[in-house]
């Protein structure tokens, strides 16, 4: 035996990983080959935060409209399946546009689901990895900020690919582990505030993951408008580190500063796309 310490293997491409030290302390595991990041909470703790950011009505309505527009850029689907539908607000948009809607969300009992979505939608409460094979295939399968949470991202993408009809599309939004934010803010990076964020894709790892489940026309882009408050939230955490049981955005001043600086953030992101903290996967199933 060489006495070498066993190195963890990348959950996406099976190549070796190594520890990536974070500014301010802690480490993530980074794949040497595809740049995929995984997080062990013991090595990169979440600063006392219990759950994901709970929501702010104005911001949420705006984000919902932007996300819906992003998902329907290539045309309006007649049937959709949402992985992690939450309150059903996005499914409601598709329902109002005349689509049939379905989805699964294991945390569904924690939030009130839109009544019309509950009535007309085909809703499941299993984790996506455990969902029974689909009876009805849909034109669009999507998940908004779920891939960073799930237990098995490859199985999740595989299931998404099985749920989509030939010629249909799969789309996911997830934090960008290869964005400038992680390097600049280190452990103060806002995406690390949520302890249920257990991985961060790079554009390359997301591309490889989608390709390896047999999807085609795989594209990974960086939307300019998603997660606009990431920078101000990260800067606040960097400048004034302290326990925040409800998360940094629970402070109204931080949220207000986030909205006030949005035009500056957008200008910076236009000049430098790697500042954008989100990856957008779009892929197709061959017809
Ligand atoms: Zn990898």
How would residue 19 be classed by pLDDT, with cut points 50, 70 and 90?
Answer: very high
- Is residue 12 assigned to a domain? no
Between the CA of 28 and the centroid of ligand 1 the distance, in Å, is 13
Sort strands 138-144 and 164-175 into parallel, antiparallel or unpaired: parallel
- Is residue 70 assigned to a domain? yes
- Is residue 114 assigned to a domain? yes
- Is residue 235 assigned to a domain? yes
3-state secondary structure of 142: strand
Structure tokens at 78: 């007649």
Between the CA of 41 and the centroid of ligand 1 the distance, in Å, is 20
- Is residue 35 assigned to a domain? no
Max Cα–Cα distance, the chain, nearest Å: 63
User: Which residues lie across from 173 on neighbouring strands?
Assistant: 144, 280
3-state secondary structure of 103: strand
pTM, whole model, 2 decimals? 0.87
- Is residue 267 assigned to a domain? yes
- Is residue 44 assigned to a domain? no
Residue 214's CATH number: 3.40.50.150
Domain around 224: 49-284
Phi-psi region at 54: left, alpha or beta (left = phi > 0; alpha = psi -120 to 50): alpha
The number of distinct structural domains making up the chain is: 1
Please tell me the distance from the alpha carbon of residue 23 to that of residue 188, in angstroms, as a whole number. 8
Between the CA of 17 and the centroid of ligand 1 the distance, in Å, is 8
Q: Kindly report, residue by residue over 266-285, the tens digit of the pLDDT.
A: 777 777 778 888 999 999 99
Please tell me the distance from the alpha carbon of residue 286 to that of residue 283, in angstroms, as a whole number. 10
Q: What is the pLDDT of residue 6?
A: 61
- Is residue 266 assigned to a domain? yes
Ion ligand 1 residues within 5 Å by Cβ? 10, 12-13, 15, 31, 33-34, 36
Q: Kindly report, residue by residue over 184-215, the tens digit of the pLDDT.
A: 889 888 888 888 899 999 999 999 999 999 99
Please tell me the distance from the alpha carbon of residue 97 to that of residue 208, in angstroms, as a whole number. 33
Rg of the chain taking only CA atoms, in angstroms: 19
């Amino acid at each position: 035996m060489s006495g070498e310490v066993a190195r963890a293997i990348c959950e996406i491409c099976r190549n070796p990983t190594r520890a990536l030290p974070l500014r301010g302390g802690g480490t993530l595991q980074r794949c040497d080959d595809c740049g995929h990041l995984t997080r062990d909470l013991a090595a990169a703790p979440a600063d006392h935060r219990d759950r994901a950011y709970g929501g702010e009505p104005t911001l949420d309505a705006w984000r919902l409209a932007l996300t819906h527009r992003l998902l329907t850029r290539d045309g309006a689907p007649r049937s959709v399946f949402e992985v992690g539908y939450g309150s059903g607000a996005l499914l409601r948009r598709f329902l109002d546009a005349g689509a049939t809607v379905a989805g699964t969300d294991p945390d569904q009992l924690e939030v009130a689901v839109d009544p019309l979505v509950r009535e007309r939608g085909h809703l499941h409460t299993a984790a996506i990895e455990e969902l029974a094979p689909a009876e009805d295939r849909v034109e669009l399968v999507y998940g908004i900020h779920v891939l960073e949470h799930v237990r098995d991202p490859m199985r999740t993408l595989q299931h998404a690919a099985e749920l989509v009809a030939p010629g249909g599309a799969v789309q996911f939004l997830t934090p960008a582990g290869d964005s400038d934010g992680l390097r600049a803010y280190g452990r103060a990076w806002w995406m690390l505030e949520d302890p249920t964020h257990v991985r961060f894709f790079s554009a390359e790892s997301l591309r490889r993951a989608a390709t390896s489940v047999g999807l085609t026309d795989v594209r990974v882009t960086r939307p300019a408008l998603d997660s606009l408050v990431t920078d101000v939230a990260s800067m606040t955490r960097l400048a004034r580190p302290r326990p925040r049981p409800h998360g940094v955005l629970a402070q109204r001043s931080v949220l207000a500063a986030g909205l006030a600086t949005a035009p500056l953030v957008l200008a910076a992101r236009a000049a430098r796309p790697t500042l954008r903290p989100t990856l957008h996967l779009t892929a197709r199933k061959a017809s």
